[in-house]
Structure 1
Amino acid sequence: MKAKTKPKKPDQPRYDLFSFTNDGNTVAVTQHGKDALERIYGSKSPAVNDGLFNQGYMTLNPKEVEPGANDVRGFFPAIVRDIEPRDAIERMLAVQMAATHVALIRQGGRMANAEQLPQFEAHERAFNKLARTYTAQMEALRKHRSGGKQTVTVQHVNVSDGGQAIVGNVDTGGEGWQ
Protein backbone atom coordinates (compact mmCIF):
# COMPACT_ATOMS: atom_id res chain seq x y z
CA MET A 1 0.00 0.00 0.00
CA LYS A 2 1.37 3.36 -1.04
CA ALA A 3 1.63 6.16 1.46
CA LYS A 4 -0.50 9.15 0.56
CA THR A 5 1.46 12.22 -0.36
CA LYS A 6 0.27 15.75 -0.01
CA PRO A 7 -0.42 17.53 -3.27
CA LYS A 8 2.54 19.68 -4.21
CA LYS A 9 1.98 23.42 -3.93
CA PRO A 10 2.63 25.27 -7.16
CA ASP A 11 6.01 26.94 -7.09
CA GLN A 12 6.15 30.70 -6.76
CA PRO A 13 7.02 32.38 -10.05
CA ARG A 14 10.76 32.32 -10.59
CA TYR A 15 12.35 35.32 -12.21
CA ASP A 16 15.93 34.17 -12.70
CA LEU A 17 17.42 37.60 -12.80
CA PHE A 18 15.66 39.19 -9.83
CA SER A 19 14.34 38.53 -6.36
CA PHE A 20 11.88 40.73 -4.51
CA THR A 21 11.49 41.57 -0.84
CA ASN A 22 8.85 43.71 0.80
CA ASP A 23 9.25 45.09 4.32
CA GLY A 24 5.75 46.58 4.29
CA ASN A 25 6.90 50.05 3.28
CA THR A 26 9.25 49.54 0.36
CA VAL A 27 9.82 46.90 -2.23
CA ALA A 28 13.44 45.98 -2.87
CA VAL A 29 14.52 44.37 -6.11
CA THR A 30 17.79 42.45 -6.08
CA GLN A 31 19.53 41.73 -9.37
CA HIS A 32 21.25 38.41 -9.78
CA GLY A 33 24.33 39.47 -11.71
CA LYS A 34 25.56 42.97 -12.39
CA ASP A 35 24.46 42.74 -16.00
CA ALA A 36 20.92 41.45 -15.37
CA LEU A 37 19.19 44.55 -16.69
CA GLU A 38 21.56 44.78 -19.63
CA ARG A 39 20.72 41.18 -20.54
CA ILE A 40 17.00 42.03 -20.48
CA TYR A 41 16.81 45.52 -21.95
CA GLY A 42 19.90 45.26 -24.13
CA SER A 43 21.34 48.73 -23.60
CA LYS A 44 24.96 49.30 -22.61
CA SER A 45 23.72 52.29 -20.57
CA PRO A 46 22.80 51.46 -16.96
CA ALA A 47 20.71 54.67 -16.88
CA VAL A 48 18.57 53.46 -19.79
CA ASN A 49 18.14 49.97 -18.35
CA ASP A 50 17.31 51.26 -14.85
CA GLY A 51 14.91 53.85 -16.27
CA LEU A 52 12.99 51.33 -18.38
CA PHE A 53 12.88 48.86 -15.49
CA ASN A 54 11.47 51.50 -13.11
CA GLN A 55 9.03 52.93 -15.65
CA GLY A 56 7.39 49.54 -15.98
CA TYR A 57 6.74 49.43 -12.23
CA MET A 58 5.31 52.93 -12.18
CA THR A 59 2.25 51.61 -14.01
CA LEU A 60 1.43 48.94 -11.43
CA ASN A 61 -1.17 49.12 -8.71
CA PRO A 62 0.28 48.65 -5.19
CA LYS A 63 -1.72 45.40 -4.91
CA GLU A 64 0.20 44.06 -7.90
CA VAL A 65 3.58 44.45 -6.20
CA GLU A 66 2.94 42.40 -3.08
CA PRO A 67 4.13 38.87 -2.56
CA GLY A 68 1.38 36.42 -3.39
CA ALA A 69 -1.07 35.69 -6.16
CA ASN A 70 -1.27 39.25 -7.49
CA ASP A 71 2.49 39.80 -7.64
CA VAL A 72 3.32 40.77 -11.23
CA ARG A 73 6.67 42.45 -10.63
CA GLY A 74 8.50 39.86 -12.66
CA PHE A 75 6.17 40.26 -15.63
CA PHE A 76 7.73 43.46 -16.99
CA PRO A 77 11.35 42.31 -17.21
CA ALA A 78 10.27 38.81 -18.28
CA ILE A 79 8.11 40.01 -21.16
CA VAL A 80 10.71 42.53 -22.31
CA ARG A 81 13.28 39.73 -22.28
CA ASP A 82 10.93 37.55 -24.37
CA ILE A 83 10.36 40.35 -26.91
CA GLU A 84 14.16 40.60 -27.25
CA PRO A 85 14.44 44.30 -28.09
CA ARG A 86 17.19 45.07 -30.62
CA ASP A 87 17.51 48.83 -30.20
CA ALA A 88 16.31 51.83 -28.19
CA ILE A 89 12.98 52.08 -30.04
CA GLU A 90 12.20 48.42 -29.40
CA ARG A 91 13.24 48.69 -25.73
CA MET A 92 10.80 51.55 -25.10
CA LEU A 93 8.07 49.89 -27.16
CA ALA A 94 8.49 46.61 -25.27
CA VAL A 95 7.95 48.38 -21.92
CA GLN A 96 4.93 50.23 -23.34
CA MET A 97 3.50 46.97 -24.67
CA ALA A 98 3.89 45.31 -21.28
CA ALA A 99 2.21 48.27 -19.54
CA THR A 100 -0.61 48.33 -22.10
CA HIS A 101 -1.14 44.61 -21.67
CA VAL A 102 -1.39 44.91 -17.87
CA ALA A 103 -3.85 47.81 -18.21
CA LEU A 104 -5.88 45.87 -20.78
CA ILE A 105 -6.18 42.82 -18.54
CA ARG A 106 -6.99 45.07 -15.57
CA GLN A 107 -9.82 46.71 -17.57
CA GLY A 108 -11.12 43.29 -18.61
CA GLY A 109 -11.46 42.38 -14.94
CA ARG A 110 -13.25 45.62 -14.17
CA MET A 111 -15.59 45.09 -17.11
CA ALA A 112 -16.36 41.53 -15.98
CA ASN A 113 -17.16 42.74 -12.47
CA ALA A 114 -19.23 45.80 -13.39
CA GLU A 115 -22.64 45.68 -11.73
CA GLN A 116 -24.36 48.46 -13.64
CA LEU A 117 -24.59 49.15 -17.35
CA PRO A 118 -22.86 52.59 -17.26
CA GLN A 119 -19.88 51.04 -15.42
CA PHE A 120 -19.73 48.17 -17.90
CA GLU A 121 -19.87 50.55 -20.87
CA ALA A 122 -17.10 52.77 -19.47
CA HIS A 123 -14.85 49.77 -18.84
CA GLU A 124 -15.71 48.33 -22.24
CA ARG A 125 -14.68 51.58 -23.99
CA ALA A 126 -11.38 51.64 -22.10
CA PHE A 127 -10.82 47.95 -22.83
CA ASN A 128 -11.42 48.46 -26.56
CA LYS A 129 -9.09 51.49 -26.70
CA LEU A 130 -6.35 49.55 -24.94
CA ALA A 131 -6.84 46.54 -27.24
CA ARG A 132 -6.51 48.81 -30.30
CA THR A 133 -3.45 50.47 -28.77
CA TYR A 134 -1.81 47.11 -28.13
CA THR A 135 -2.53 46.01 -31.70
CA ALA A 136 -1.00 49.25 -33.00
CA GLN A 137 2.06 48.68 -30.83
CA MET A 138 2.50 45.16 -32.21
CA GLU A 139 2.19 46.52 -35.75
CA ALA A 140 4.72 49.27 -34.99
CA LEU A 141 7.18 46.67 -33.68
CA ARG A 142 6.65 44.50 -36.76
CA LYS A 143 7.17 47.45 -39.13
CA HIS A 144 10.22 48.65 -37.23
CA ARG A 145 11.81 45.21 -37.37
CA SER A 146 11.08 44.73 -41.05
CA GLY A 147 12.24 48.23 -41.98
CA GLY A 148 8.71 49.09 -43.10
CA LYS A 149 8.81 46.49 -45.87
CA GLN A 150 5.81 44.27 -46.36
CA THR A 151 6.33 40.76 -47.62
CA VAL A 152 3.63 38.84 -49.44
CA THR A 153 4.08 35.13 -50.04
CA VAL A 154 2.01 33.52 -52.78
CA GLN A 155 1.72 29.82 -52.18
CA HIS A 156 -0.30 28.70 -55.21
CA VAL A 157 -0.91 30.27 -58.61
CA ASN A 158 -3.01 28.92 -61.50
CA VAL A 159 -2.35 30.18 -65.02
CA SER A 160 -4.83 29.06 -67.69
CA ASP A 161 -3.85 28.15 -71.24
CA GLY A 162 -2.84 31.27 -73.10
CA GLY A 163 -2.37 33.23 -69.88
CA GLN A 164 0.81 34.79 -68.56
CA ALA A 165 2.17 35.04 -65.05
CA ILE A 166 4.58 37.78 -64.03
CA VAL A 167 6.94 37.23 -61.13
CA GLY A 168 8.60 40.34 -59.74
CA ASN A 169 7.87 44.01 -59.18
CA VAL A 170 5.33 45.54 -61.53
CA ASP A 171 5.10 49.30 -62.05
CA THR A 172 1.70 50.52 -63.17
CA GLY A 173 2.52 54.07 -64.09
CA GLY A 174 5.23 56.54 -64.83
CA GLU A 175 6.49 58.12 -68.04
CA GLY A 176 5.08 56.66 -71.21
CA TRP A 177 1.93 55.33 -69.56
CA GLN A 178 -1.42 56.87 -70.35
Structure 2
Amino acid sequence: MTESQTRNDAEDRSVRRRTFVSTALMIGGIVIGYGAGLFHFFQYLVPLRSKGRRRKMFVGTLAELPVGGTRSVKAPTGEEITLARVSDDKANPAAGFKALSTKCPHLGCKVHWVENKREFFCPCHNGVFDKDGQALSGPPAKEGKNLSQYEVQVEKKDGWVFVIVPQRNRYGA
Protein backbone atom coordinates (compact mmCIF):
# COMPACT_ATOMS: atom_id res chain seq x y z
CA MET A 1 0.00 0.00 0.00
CA THR A 2 1.35 3.38 -0.91
CA GLU A 3 1.55 6.39 1.31
CA SER A 4 -1.09 8.29 -0.71
CA GLN A 5 -3.58 5.41 -0.43
CA THR A 6 -3.09 5.29 3.36
CA ARG A 7 -3.61 9.07 3.62
CA ASN A 8 -6.77 8.93 1.48
CA ASP A 9 -8.08 6.00 3.52
CA ALA A 10 -7.46 7.89 6.81
CA GLU A 11 -9.18 11.04 5.48
CA ASP A 12 -12.12 8.94 4.26
CA ARG A 13 -12.55 7.38 7.74
CA SER A 14 -12.27 10.82 9.36
CA VAL A 15 -15.03 12.20 7.11
CA ARG A 16 -17.27 9.18 7.81
CA ARG A 17 -16.71 9.53 11.57
CA ARG A 18 -17.44 13.29 11.47
CA THR A 19 -20.61 12.70 9.42
CA PHE A 20 -21.74 9.96 11.81
CA VAL A 21 -21.19 12.08 14.94
CA SER A 22 -22.93 15.17 13.52
CA THR A 23 -25.86 13.08 12.23
CA ALA A 24 -26.21 11.29 15.58
CA LEU A 25 -26.20 14.59 17.50
CA MET A 26 -28.76 16.10 15.14
CA ILE A 27 -31.09 13.10 15.42
CA GLY A 28 -30.68 13.08 19.23
CA GLY A 29 -31.58 16.77 19.42
CA ILE A 30 -34.64 16.27 17.24
CA VAL A 31 -35.83 13.31 19.33
CA ILE A 32 -35.36 15.21 22.61
CA GLY A 33 -37.00 18.37 21.23
CA TYR A 34 -40.03 16.63 19.77
CA GLY A 35 -40.28 14.34 22.80
CA ALA A 36 -40.45 17.29 25.18
CA GLY A 37 -42.96 19.04 22.94
CA LEU A 38 -45.19 15.97 22.70
CA PHE A 39 -44.98 15.44 26.47
CA HIS A 40 -46.31 18.96 27.13
CA PHE A 41 -48.88 18.69 24.35
CA PHE A 42 -50.36 15.50 25.83
CA GLN A 43 -50.34 16.97 29.34
CA TYR A 44 -52.30 19.91 27.95
CA LEU A 45 -54.85 17.54 26.39
CA VAL A 46 -55.11 15.40 29.52
CA PRO A 47 -53.96 17.63 32.40
CA LEU A 48 -53.14 16.33 35.83
CA ARG A 49 -56.35 16.80 37.75
CA SER A 50 -56.33 18.03 41.28
CA LYS A 51 -59.43 16.09 42.29
CA GLY A 52 -60.60 16.82 45.77
CA ARG A 53 -58.11 19.62 46.26
CA ARG A 54 -59.90 22.68 47.54
CA ARG A 55 -58.90 26.01 48.90
CA LYS A 56 -60.35 28.38 51.49
CA MET A 57 -60.71 31.83 50.02
CA PHE A 58 -61.24 34.75 52.41
CA VAL A 59 -64.19 36.93 51.40
CA GLY A 60 -64.74 39.26 54.36
CA THR A 61 -66.13 39.41 57.87
CA LEU A 62 -69.69 39.01 59.12
CA ALA A 63 -69.73 42.73 59.96
CA GLU A 64 -68.75 43.65 56.37
CA LEU A 65 -71.47 41.47 54.84
CA PRO A 66 -74.96 42.62 55.90
CA VAL A 67 -78.10 40.56 55.30
CA GLY A 68 -79.23 41.19 51.72
CA GLY A 69 -75.73 42.19 50.66
CA THR A 70 -73.59 40.48 48.06
CA ARG A 71 -69.91 40.34 47.26
CA SER A 72 -68.26 39.05 44.11
CA VAL A 73 -64.96 37.19 44.25
CA LYS A 74 -62.83 35.52 41.62
CA ALA A 75 -61.73 31.93 42.27
CA PRO A 76 -58.21 30.76 41.37
CA THR A 77 -59.79 28.85 38.48
CA GLY A 78 -60.98 32.18 37.04
CA GLU A 79 -64.64 31.63 37.79
CA GLU A 80 -66.49 34.53 39.35
CA ILE A 81 -68.54 33.71 42.43
CA THR A 82 -71.26 35.79 44.09
CA LEU A 83 -71.59 35.43 47.83
CA ALA A 84 -75.02 36.52 49.06
CA ARG A 85 -75.99 36.80 52.71
CA VAL A 86 -79.61 35.71 52.69
CA SER A 87 -80.25 35.47 56.45
CA ASP A 88 -78.68 36.05 59.85
CA ASP A 89 -78.41 32.61 61.42
CA LYS A 90 -76.76 33.06 64.85
CA ALA A 91 -76.47 29.31 65.56
CA ASN A 92 -74.88 28.47 62.18
CA PRO A 93 -73.65 31.66 60.46
CA ALA A 94 -72.52 29.78 57.31
CA ALA A 95 -76.14 28.70 56.69
CA GLY A 96 -77.04 32.35 56.13
CA PHE A 97 -74.83 32.55 53.04
CA LYS A 98 -75.11 31.28 49.48
CA ALA A 99 -72.07 31.18 47.22
CA LEU A 100 -73.01 30.63 43.61
CA SER A 101 -71.27 30.83 40.27
CA THR A 102 -72.17 33.92 38.26
CA LYS A 103 -71.92 31.91 35.05
CA CYS A 104 -75.26 30.85 33.60
CA PRO A 105 -75.22 27.11 32.87
CA HIS A 106 -77.18 27.68 29.65
CA LEU A 107 -74.65 29.63 27.56
CA GLY A 108 -72.22 31.08 30.09
CA CYS A 109 -73.62 34.61 30.37
CA LYS A 110 -73.13 36.48 33.64
CA VAL A 111 -76.02 36.33 36.10
CA HIS A 112 -76.83 39.12 38.56
CA TRP A 113 -78.45 39.10 42.01
CA VAL A 114 -81.68 41.15 42.07
CA GLU A 115 -82.26 42.02 45.73
CA ASN A 116 -85.87 43.28 45.50
CA LYS A 117 -86.95 40.02 43.82
CA ARG A 118 -84.45 37.90 45.81
CA GLU A 119 -83.35 35.99 42.74
CA PHE A 120 -80.52 35.69 40.25
CA PHE A 121 -81.25 36.87 36.72
CA CYS A 122 -79.50 36.09 33.43
CA PRO A 123 -80.14 38.90 30.92
CA CYS A 124 -79.08 36.89 27.86
CA HIS A 125 -82.18 34.68 27.68
CA ASN A 126 -84.20 35.80 30.73
CA GLY A 127 -83.07 32.92 32.89
CA VAL A 128 -84.20 33.20 36.51
CA PHE A 129 -82.69 31.34 39.50
CA ASP A 130 -83.84 31.37 43.11
CA LYS A 131 -81.55 32.30 46.03
CA ASP A 132 -80.29 28.69 46.13
CA GLY A 133 -79.30 28.69 42.44
CA GLN A 134 -82.21 26.51 41.30
CA ALA A 135 -83.47 27.43 37.81
CA LEU A 136 -87.02 28.81 37.90
CA SER A 137 -87.65 29.92 34.32
CA GLY A 138 -86.05 30.46 30.95
CA PRO A 139 -83.79 28.06 29.06
CA PRO A 140 -81.90 26.90 32.19
CA ALA A 141 -85.15 25.71 33.78
CA LYS A 142 -86.16 23.88 30.59
CA GLU A 143 -82.76 22.16 30.51
CA GLY A 144 -82.78 21.46 34.25
CA LYS A 145 -79.50 23.32 34.78
CA ASN A 146 -78.80 25.15 38.04
CA LEU A 147 -76.03 27.52 39.12
CA SER A 148 -72.93 25.86 40.58
CA GLN A 149 -72.90 26.20 44.35
CA TYR A 150 -69.88 26.50 46.65
CA GLU A 151 -69.46 25.72 50.32
CA VAL A 152 -69.23 28.63 52.77
CA GLN A 153 -67.43 28.47 56.12
CA VAL A 154 -67.53 31.04 58.91
CA GLU A 155 -65.03 31.09 61.73
CA LYS A 156 -67.19 31.96 64.72
CA LYS A 157 -64.27 33.26 66.78
CA ASP A 158 -63.26 35.99 64.32
CA GLY A 159 -66.37 36.18 62.13
CA TRP A 160 -64.29 35.56 59.02
CA VAL A 161 -66.20 34.30 55.99
CA PHE A 162 -64.57 31.89 53.52
CA VAL A 163 -65.73 30.34 50.26
CA ILE A 164 -64.34 26.87 49.53
CA VAL A 165 -63.27 26.74 45.89
CA PRO A 166 -61.49 24.16 43.72
CA GLN A 167 -57.71 24.39 43.76
CA ARG A 168 -56.27 25.36 40.41
CA ASN A 169 -53.94 22.75 38.92
CA ARG A 170 -50.61 23.64 37.38
CA TYR A 171 -52.07 23.88 33.87
CA GLY A 172 -54.75 26.39 34.79
CA ALA A 173 -57.70 24.04 34.67
Q: If the TM-score is normalised by the length of the shorter chain, which range does it land in?
A: under 0.3
TM-score by length of 1: 0.20
Determine which structure has more spread, i.e. the larger CA radius of gyration. Answer: 2
Structure that is richer in helix per residue: 1
Structure that is richer in strand per residue: 2
TM-score by length of 2: 0.21
